[in-house]
Amino acid sequence: MKKKIIGIFVCMLLIVTMLPLTTMAGDPENPEIEDEASDLFGPLSFAWQPSFIDIEKGWFQDDAENLHITLKVMDLSFKYWRQIYSIHWTYKGTKFSVGSHIVLFGTQKGSFLREEIGQSRDWISTEIEEHMCESDDTITWVVPKEILGDVHADDILEETYAWTAIRTPFEPVTYVLFLGEIVKDYAEGSNYIIQY
Ligand SMILES: [Ca+2]
Ligand SMILES: [Ca+2]
């Protein structure tokens, strides 16, 4: 318990340090995305509802330089599986997402911003910074606004949603055995209005 409390304190400090000037437009109390517990779907969901990918909520925040996007699941922890976490939105007609793949008990991970090229279903992928906080069950991605284009206050991020999933650690096996994700979760959200 003590460890958990210290962990939460460290997470809060991190977030406060990351957001020195931000007013709370989207925040944990007013999240753009909210979801139910134990509502996972996919081929093995009838037998398995792992809380470590079960979406609880997600929210956006921004300061002058960066967009901060946070996903909270029911109980974040890192297992053997390929765990995939993502939040998506559309900005000025272009689809964006932030996401992380975490494999083999958290020993390997990658986090990225993806931008769809036109309507091509091809993507530009850029590595980005993320903060994973197991003690408060959140992943926060940091996206420099300059990557998104000419972002201004009152611009709208629309069609927001969160998506999480589990695949086998070695991706080709996933497709051979399960035709995709073993279990997954999805939650639609409301628009976010850029503050700065
Ligand atoms: Ca859920
Ligand atoms: Ca859901």
- Centre of ligand 1 to C-alpha 146, Å, is 32
Give the distance (Å) from ligand 1 centre to CA of residue 54. Answer: 4
Task: Tell me the whole-structure pTM to 2 decimals.
Answer: 0.87
Mean pLDDT score, 132-152: 94
Backbone angles phi, psi at 28, to 5 degrees: -60, -25
Between the CA of 163 and the centroid of ligand 2 the distance, in Å, is 8
- Total structural domains within the chain: 1
pLDDT at 117: 86
| CA of 45 relative to ligand 2 center, distance in Å | 12
Q: How far apart are the CA of 39 and the centre of ligand 2, in A?
A: 5
- Residue-wise pLDDT for 15-73, tens only, equals 555 554 444 456 889 999 999 999 999 988 999 999 999 999 999 999 999 999 999 99
Query: For the domain that residue 74 is a member of, what is the CATH number?
Result: 2.60.40
Q: Which domain holds residue 168?
A: 2-193
